[in-house]
Amino acid sequence: MKLRYQFRVYPSVPQRQDLTRAFGCARVVWNDALRIRQGAHAQGLPRPTAAELSRRVITEAKKTQGRAWLAEVSAVVLQQSLRDLETAFSNFFASVKGARKGPKLGPPRFKKKTSRQAVRFTANSRFCITGDGRLRLPKIGDVRVHWSRELPSAPSSVTVIKDAAGRYFASFTVEVDDKPLPELDMEETDTGIDLGLSTYAVLRGRKIKTPKFFRRQEKKLKRAQRKLSRCAKGSNNAGRPSWP
């Protein structure tokens, strides 16, 4: 079972500049690959393979004057951006075919520079946690981390996030054993309810998932806010609430 552990990180000024460069390069690679895929679809050409996209938007692009700065960031960050695009297309096609549960998904869109940015470093990038507890990222350096708890195992990837408030976070993905809890005999054993964060409650060996009411309402609010932002100010549509 995969779990995520998120911690606050405090990159130095030069490290923030390097992260900003990584955010921008990952965004450019995503947009370049998406543009190629859309162009191939519009012309009725076969869908470019992942290897072809990697060659065109990363390997060959680095040799051009307009994209030479892609070489200044970790290649794993760029490759991961392409993988995320492939995943987005796979989820979209699965949603169209009805093979994916949940609300219908639209096709991937071009990314814009927003207040929230993120890049992912996988194990191939050889990121690590140093002896003094810093997060070592390729072409970024050793970033100071505020550890609030220990990781249960070695992380397989880490996503560095910059939020709208300008704060930085490191989200680690770790693998843990999903061991079933023993069944209890109500007549011979006292029963307790264990409340938690990742799981709402554990009762007699049965896990009860968190309802996540806020998360569901938050998604509705985001959709309503996006709809409102596209309306003309003062129009009837702008004045008609669509949430909750």
pLDDT single digits (tens) 172-212: 999 887 665 455 455 544 555 556 666 666 665 566 666 66
- In SS3 terms, the chain reads as CEEEEEEEEECCHHHHHHHHHHHHHHHHHHHHHHHHHHHHHHCCCCCCCHHHHHHHHHHCHHHCCCCHHHHHCCHHHHHHHHHHHHHHHHHHHHHHHCCCCCCCCCCCCCCCCCCCEEEEEEHHHCCEECCCCCEEECCCEEEEEECCCCCCCCCCEEEEEECCCCCEEEEEEEECCCCCCCCCCCCCCCCCEEECCCCCEEECCEEECCCCHHHHHHHHHHHHHHHHHCCCCCCHHHHCCCCC
Q: How confident is the model at residue 232 (pLDDT cuts 50, 70, 90)?
A: confident
Residue 244's pLDDT is 44
pLDDT band for 103, please (50, 70, 90 cuts).
Answer: confident
Domain boundaries, the chain: 2-175
d(CA 170, CA 142) in angstroms, rounded, equals: 13
- The pLDDT of residue 44 is 93
As a whole number of angstroms, the distance between CA 141 and CA 154 comes to 19
Choose among 75, 81, 74: nearest CA to 108: 81
When pLDDT is cut at 50, 70 and 90, the band that residue 243 belongs to is very low
pLDDT score at 242? 47
Report, in angstroms and rounded to the nearest whole number, the Rg of the chain calculated over CA atoms: 22
pLDDT band at 233 (very low <50, low <70, confident <90, very high): confident
Q: If you average pLDDT over residues 77-103, what whole number do you get?
A: 90
Per-residue pLDDT tens digits for 105-139:
889 999 998 889 999 999 889 999 999 999 999 99
pLDDT given for residue 101 in this prediction:
81
Give the pLDDT band (50/70/90) at residue 227: confident
Phi, psi of 162 (to 5 degrees): -115, 120
Share of the chain above pLDDT 70, in %: 80
Q: Note the pLDDT of residue 161.
A: 96
**Spatial distance between the Cα atoms of 49 and 38, rounded to a whole number of angstroms:** 13
Is residue 222's pLDDT more than 80? yes
Question: Residue 14: what pLDDT?
Answer: 97
On average, the pLDDT of the chain sits at 85
**Residue 52 main-chain phi, psi, to 5 deg:** -65, -40
